[in-house]
């Protein structure tokens, strides 16, 4: 699958290597049921990305996902599945529901007629700005969490898993936006006189820090949100699996 995604230019070379490792860890920890949830996340997120308007997104890294993006989205699911085998399917579904929510929100938000508003300032900002939300993007994110949670519920034959993962995925997306608004590094490229989300601009030049933490990039925020969602998935499993 990673090779096919690399050939289709959905993944860069480092992204394909990382995706292979994530896929192997998920299948080892959570079985083929976990693999199906991962597949649902990857196929649906790639399809929604195709419908996005990247030209409208601020400072996108580009279509080909690199290892940092892959691990930010799937690393927590992979690690959780290996470390906590009994709860693996809950961890994988909850964490990937959060990852899907964020990916779907960014892609559908790029089609919003009204620009998103920044959570800190309340001001309208370009689509794709971290920490900003729009109605259409939020609705899309809820859809992404729901689809991933539904596939998890079907392969596990557990409605409790589906409900828990759906709620965790939506909460993960909101935490992602809050961290993006309050803590993520905000940069400016002096050469292009353009806002940026990265310490090095896509032009190759260094950017200057405007606010937030320099080391906390968009990949870092995504990684924190999916890790919290994985932890919440394990807690939900401990609470609900004995009864339902």
Residues that bind Zn ion (CB under 5 A): 189, 191-192, 201, 203, 205
- The span from the CA of 200 to the CA of 12, in Å, is 19
- The span from the CA of 219 to the CA of 24, in Å, is 21
CA angle 135, 137, 138 (to 5 degrees): 65
The nearest distance, CB 201 to Zn ion, in angstroms, is: 3
Smallest Cα–Cα separation from 110: which of 50, 169, 154, 162?
Answer: 50
Measured in whole angstroms, the distance separating CA 5 from the mean position of its chain's CA atoms is: 17
- The span from the CA of 84 to the CA of 24, in Å, is 15
Closest to Zn ion by CB, 4 or 192: 192
Closest to Zn ion by CB, 59 or 176: 59
The nearest distance, CB 11 to Zn ion, in angstroms, is: 25
Closest to Zn ion by CB, 47 or 191: 191
Closest to Zn ion by CB, 107 or 196: 196
The nearest distance, CB 194 to Zn ion, in angstroms, is: 6
The nearest distance, CB 237 to Zn ion, in angstroms, is: 45
């Amino acid at each position: 699958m990673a090779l096919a995604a690399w050939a289709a230019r959905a993944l860069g070379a480092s992204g394909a290597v990382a995706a292979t490792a994530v896929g192997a860890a998920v299948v080892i920890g959570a079985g083929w049921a976990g693999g199906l949830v991962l597949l649902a996340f990857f196929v649906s997120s790639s399809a929604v990305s195709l419908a996005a308007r990247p030209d409208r997104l601020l400072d996108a890294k580009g279509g080909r996902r690199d290892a940092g993006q892959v691990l930010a989205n799937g690393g927590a699911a992979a690690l959780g599945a290996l470390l906590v085998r009994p709860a693996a399917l809950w961890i994988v579904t909850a964490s990937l529901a959060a990852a899907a929510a964020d990916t779907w929100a960014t892609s559908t938000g790029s089609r919003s007629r009204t620009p998103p508003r920044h959570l800190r300032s309340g001001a309208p900002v370009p689509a794709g700005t971290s920490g900003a939300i729009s109605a259409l993007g939020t609705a899309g994110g809820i859809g992404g969490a729901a689809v991933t949670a539904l596939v998890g519920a079907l392969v596990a034959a557990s409605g409790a898993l589906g409900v828990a993962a759906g709620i965790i995925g939506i909460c993960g997306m909101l935490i992602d936006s809050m961290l993006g608004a309050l803590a993520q590094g905000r940069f400016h490229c002096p050469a292009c006189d353009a806002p940026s989300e990265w310490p090095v601009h896509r032009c190759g030049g260094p950017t200057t820090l405007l606010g937030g933490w320099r080391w906390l990039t968009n990949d870092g925020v995504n990684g924190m949100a999916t890790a919290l969602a994985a932890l919440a998935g394990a807690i939900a499993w401990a609470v609900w699996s004995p009864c339902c």
